[in-house]
Amino acid sequence: MSAIEAIRNEFREEVPAIRRILERVPNDKLGWKPHAKSRTLGELATHVASIPGLIENIATKSEFAPTGPGTPAASADEIRSKFENSVKTAEAALATLTDEAAQADWRLIFMGKEILRRTKLQALRTNVLNHIYHHRGQLSVYLRLLEVPVPIVYGPTADENPFIK
């Protein structure tokens, strides 16, 4: 199996769990945040929904210079729609990326300064997959604090256990 195939397969395996978490985001709590220094639920969920879209940038460009945190979605439905579009964009980009092209450098630029330089393959792992795992975990904690049942990600949760009926 090629390195890009492995990334693509892992991404595809993670999409349903991300979708389950985003499906639980309550529309009436998008402005809630657990701490003054934290993002709101809407900001965090929008970020999680958008991360897969970074795959297109990594696959097709040599650098990325973010312009800001972006505008949080106005509704939970918009968050879920953003995620589905982000996944489609990611799939299309991964379908065209070769292992050879994935060895090219990719840079993250912030305010005109290079923050990091990695191969595209490394960037897919750390800047997309690991990034998703990190923020998906945060999002599950937000749900727990809001008393929203936390769905299965890798195994049973206190709210969902397929082994106990």
Q: Which helix (H) or strand (E) holds 89?
A: helix 76-96
Tokens representing residue 37 in the block: 């220094």
By three-state DSSP, how is residue 64 classified? Answer: strand
Give 31-40 contacts, CB < 8 A, sequence gap 24+. Answer: 32/142, 32/146, 34/141, 34/142, 34/145, 40/72
Q: Would you kindly state where each structural domain of the chain is located, as residue ranges?
A: 3-145
Conformational region of residue 112, where left means phi above 0, alpha means psi within -120 to 50, and beta covers everything else: left
Q: Does domain 3-145 have CATH number 3.40.225.10?
A: no
d(CA 165, CA 163): 6
Q: What is the pLDDT of residues 57-85, one digit of tens each?
A: 999 999 999 887 778 899 999 999 999 99
Supply the mean pLDDT for the chain: 95
What is the pTM for the complete model shown?
A: 0.94
Q: Tell me the per-residue pLDDT of 12-35, one tens digit each, with 9 for 90 and over.
A: 999 999 999 999 999 999 999 999
Residue labelled with tokens 């439905």: 77
Q: Are 118 and 64 in contact (CB under 8 A)?
A: no
Distance CA 4, CA 161 (A): 33
Is residue 115 scored above 80 in pLDDT?
Answer: yes
Listed range (13-27, 44-58, 73-87, 148-162) with the worst mean pLDDT: 148-162
Question: Is residue 6 packed enough to be buried (19+ CB in 10 Å), middle (13-18) or exposed (0-12)?
Answer: middle
Query: Residue 35: CA atoms inside 13 Å, Cβ hemisphere, count?
Result: 5
Mean of the pLDDT values across residues 120-139? 97
- Taking a C-beta distance cutoff of 8 angstroms, is the pair 89, 56 a contact? yes
Residue 112 reports pLDDT greater than 80: yes
pLDDT of residue 94: 96
Q: Are strands 113-119 and 105-110 parallel, antiparallel or unpaired?
A: antiparallel
